[in-house]
Amino acid sequence: KAGVTQTPRYLIKTRGQQVTLSCSPISGHRSVSWYQQTPGQGLQFLFEYFSETQRNKGNFPGRFSGRQFSNSRSEMNVSTLELGDSALYLCASIGTEMNTEAFFGQGTRLTVV
């Protein structure tokens, strides 16, 4: 079956702009989570969605937001971009079985200039 698909793979934006990233989870998976990966901070949890509801949120400013649609696809939005938002943004999906692992997409590399 198809894996987790993230689009776009690469983005270059200017400070102050906003950006929307998309994630399509594996078909039938219930949960989508987002992570930010930077060399300095490592992998940081952003938020988790289950059945269109945000279940958990990490310690990020309100400029970072997300949503999940009825088909489980998820988007995250970052408004008023800052240079420090440059990172690899990873999406993960988790299936309905108990004790299952998260499957990650290849990520979206965001560069803010």
Partner 1 sequence: AQSVAQPEDQVNVAEGNPLTVKCTYSVSGNPYLFWYVQYPNRGLQFLLKYITGDNLVKGSYGFEAEFNKSQTSFHLKKPSALVSDSALYFCAANPYNTDKLIFGTGTRLQVFP
Q: Does 25 bind partner 1 (CB under 8 A)?
A: no
Q: Does 35 bind partner 1 (CB under 8 A)?
A: yes
Separation of CA 28 from chain center: 18
Q: Does 19 bind partner 1 (CB under 8 A)?
A: no
Burial class (CB in 10 A: 0-12, 13-18, 19+), 16: exposed
DSSP classification of residue 86:
-
Half-sphere exposure of residue 15: CA atoms within 13 angstroms, side-chain side: 4
Separation of CA 113 from chain center: 20
Closest CB 77 distance from partner 1, rounded Å: 20
Identify the residue whose tokens are 């990020």. 60
Cα separation, 89 vs 34, in Å, equals 7
Q: Does 31 bind partner 1 (CB under 8 A)?
A: yes
Q: Considering beta carbons, is residue 67 or 79 the nearer one to partner 1? A: 67
The span of 13-21, 60-68, 70-78, 87-95 binding partner 1 (CB under 8 A) equals 87-95
Q: Does 34 bind partner 1 (CB under 8 A)?
A: no
Q: Does 26 bind partner 1 (CB under 8 A)?
A: no
Q: What does the binding site for partner 1 look like in residue numbers (CB under 8 A)?
A: 4, 6, 31, 33, 35, 42-43, 45, 48, 50, 55-56, 58, 90, 92, 94, 99, 101-107, 109
